[in-house]
Amino acid sequence: MASAVLALVFALSGVAHGRVVLPEPVNFPSLDNWKGDAPLMLDGYLFKPAGHKPYPAVVMFHGCAGAISVKTGRITSRFTNMAQLLNDMGYAVLIVDSFNPRGVPQICTVPLADRDIKNRHRVMDAYSALQYLNSRPDIVAGKIGAIGFSHGGSGALSSMDATTEAYGRSEQKFAASVALYPGCGWQSRKQPEFSAYGPLLILAGEKDDWTPVEPCRKLAARSQQRNEPVELVVYPDAYHAFDSTSEVYVRKDVPNGVNGSAGVHVGANPAAREAAYKRIREFFHQHLRP
């Protein structure tokens, strides 16, 4: 049994900074019952840092392609790289798989109106992960942040919204949150208005034609007018997924971009990635250190 679990851990692990990253597979109930009466059990992968317990922690949310790469069968390297970055800072990192437990492999190619998994499901999962981590003796309760990418970035953004159902039900708070190239359109239009209860950092690409930055500008400006702790950083010449390591290419199988059938641009901007990583380190150091 132990060897089977170890094999699973290796299969789901990626390699970051030249060494194998071994997460602990975990399960915990979601606040979302999904399509039945019983609570949905979520899968998670907990990356623990070296050093003394307890650790502050970060909950990580994958994008529309899911946590596990279809090509490799492993956790996507962008997520393991970020987990390693945060582990090196002394944070535990819990990657939450919102898709496989719901029987959904990906939603990138699904029109927005036809998606079964909505923003509210990701937010329910976020607060479920927060409750789970706060219950662990090896985690510093109250020093738990969030970070998300694309669709998961929208979830990380909404997790800081005081008007969400999940926040009202959980009676717990994230200490801070980072949203990388999120879709801000729905949040910028929703009623009641988005209201950030804690520090929120939005990192976006100026040239993003999948989740364009303009709705994020509107949301951030309105939040700042109310003196809410929302910061928006926009990187010039950066497209969607600017923190990846692949060269920029065009995806024509995405129906939700601003250019219709012309597709969306996806890929790395090394300067933006380096600057974003630096800002993430500063932001979490400011808000998550015990």
User: In a 3-state reduction of DSSP, which class is residue 44?
Assistant: strand
Residue 7 lies in a domain: no
Residue 280 lies in a domain: yes
Average pLDDT, the chain: 91
Mean pLDDT across the stretch 220-241?
98
Contact 146, 59 (CB under 8 A): yes
Mean pLDDT across the stretch 283-288?
97
Give the Cα separation of 71 and 106 in Å (integer): 13
Residue 40 lies in a domain: yes
Q: Inform me whether the pLDDT recorded for 131 exceeds 50.
A: yes
Give the Cα separation of 121 and 33 in Å (integer): 10
What is the domain extent for residue 229?
Answer: 22-288
Q: What is the pTM of this model?
A: 0.92
Q: Inform me whether the pLDDT recorded for 10 exceeds 70.
A: no
Residue 17 lies in a domain: no
Residue 11 lies in a domain: no
Q: Higher pLDDT residue, 14 or 51?
A: 51
Contact 64, 150 (CB under 8 A): yes
Which percentage of the chain shows pLDDT scores above 70? Answer: 92
Residue 1 lies in a domain: no
Contact 117, 98 (CB under 8 A): yes
User: For the chain, how many structural domains are there in total?
Assistant: 1
Of all residues in the chain, what percent are helix, strand and coil, respectively (each to 5)?
35, 25, 40
Q: Inform me whether the pLDDT recorded for 20 exceeds 60.
A: no
Query: Helices 270-288 and 77-88 meet at what angle, rounded to 10?
Result: 40
Contact 54, 137 (CB under 8 A): yes
Residue 3 lies in a domain: no
Contact 47, 82 (CB under 8 A): no
Mean pLDDT across the stretch 137-154?
97
Q: Inform me whether the pLDDT recorded for 13 exceeds 90.
A: no
Residue 76 lies in a domain: yes
What is each CA distance from 32 to 44, 126, 132, 147, 263, in whole angstroms? 15, 10, 14, 20, 33
